Amino acid sequence: MTDFDTYERDLWAGRAGVYETGFARLTAHAVGPLLDAARIGAGSRVLDLGTGPGIVAAEAARRGAKVSAVDADPLMAETAARNVPGADVRVAVLPALPHEDETFDAVVGNFVINHVGDPVATLAELRRVLRPGGRLALTCWTMPGSGVLAVVRDAMEEVGVPWPDDVPLGPFMTYGRPDTFAALVGGAFREARVESLDWDFTFDPGEWWENGAMSRVGSNAVVLLRQDSPTIARVKEVYDRRLAEYATGDGSVSVPAHALLAHGTR
């Protein structure tokens, strides 16, 4: 594993519960397009990468697919196995997968490839477990982060919170653009294409703050929680002010989200 992989394992350890009730609601928007791009239907043998609480796996099972799933965090894998009875859920750390060559008709990953330290090696492994003609579909956040992905980070920058050297940004600061994502996937798969996914995400600002920023979900939260209480309070003030322009009138806000969907054929 790279240093980034080691950092990621620590970042997500024990976060299954707060991720499921918070950030997973944001990433769930991409599940339908992801499975459509992979052509998941009845009888499809599909592998869900970084399954988390199993949202992608559950929808694939609902479509009649034969579902396998992996996650690097044992608690995430346990949560997915509970949420998707009948799925073959295993603990595995990319790029290594515990599956035989050419096992699957499709491999999907919802906002997972941006959490690995060696995307090129990971794509080679995904190609290995796909049958000839099998489909790959992956989502990632558009970089640099904007919209809902950036609200806490932008508030920290306005307050003047520095980004520490020991919190790595990862390869997808480079690959998180349509051209670079397409080139990355196209290096291992035929007919590689990248599409934009844009939607409005509606949430309660207070709940989002507590279940994300204050629950150590994501690198922004890691940096924020290193600050003293007065600094955190100032960041919260800026966060609230910035989100006020997206108010819906019922106490919620609706903020744009921007992501990329890549797909290709083995």
- 129 and 103 in contact (C-beta within 8 Å)? yes
φ and ψ at 189, to 5 degrees? -130, 150
Chain-centre distance for alpha carbon 81: 19
Q: Are strands 66-71 and 190-203 parallel, antiparallel or unpaired?
A: unpaired
Average pLDDT of the chain? 96
Write the CATH number of the domain with boundaries 3-145+168-201+255-265. Answer: 3.40.50.150
Nearest to 251 by CA among 208, 200, 199, 217: 208
φ, ψ at 203 (rounded to 5°): -155, 165
pLDDT of residue 121 exceeding 80: yes
Residue for token pair 């979900």 = 217
Per-residue pLDDT tens over the stretch 43-98: 999 999 999 999 999 999 999 999 999 999 999 999 999 999 999 999 999 999 99
Q: Is 113 exposed, middle or buried (0-12, 13-18, 19+ CB in 10 A)?
A: buried
Each residue of 134-167: pLDDT tens digit?
Answer: 999 999 999 998 999 999 999 999 999 999 999 9
Question: 118-129: string of b/e by CB count within 10 Å (b at 16+)?
Answer: bbeebbebbbbb
**CA gap 110, 25 in Å, rounded:** 12
Q: Do 254 and 134 contact (CB within 8 A), yes or no? A: no
pLDDT value at position 212? 87
The answer to whether residue 25 scores a pLDDT higher than 90 is: yes
- Mean pLDDT confidence for 167-173: 94
Q: Where are the alpha helices (DSSP H) in the chain?
A: 3-12, 16-21, 23-27, 31-37, 55-62, 74-83, 119-129, 151-159, 172-175, 178-186, 205-211, 219-224, 229-244
**The pLDDT value given to residue 2:** 86
Mean pLDDT of 215-226: 93
Question: Do 81 and 87 meet the contact criterion of CB atoms below 8 Å apart?
Answer: yes
258 Cβ partners below 8 Å, 6+ apart? 141, 142, 146, 147, 149, 196, 197, 198
Burial class (CB in 10 A: 0-12, 13-18, 19+), 100: exposed
Q: Where are the domains of the chain?
A: 3-145+168-201+255-265
Q: What is the mean pLDDT of residues 172-190?
A: 97
pLDDT single digits (tens) 232-257: 999 999 999 999 999 999 999 999 99
What is the reported pLDDT for 141? 97
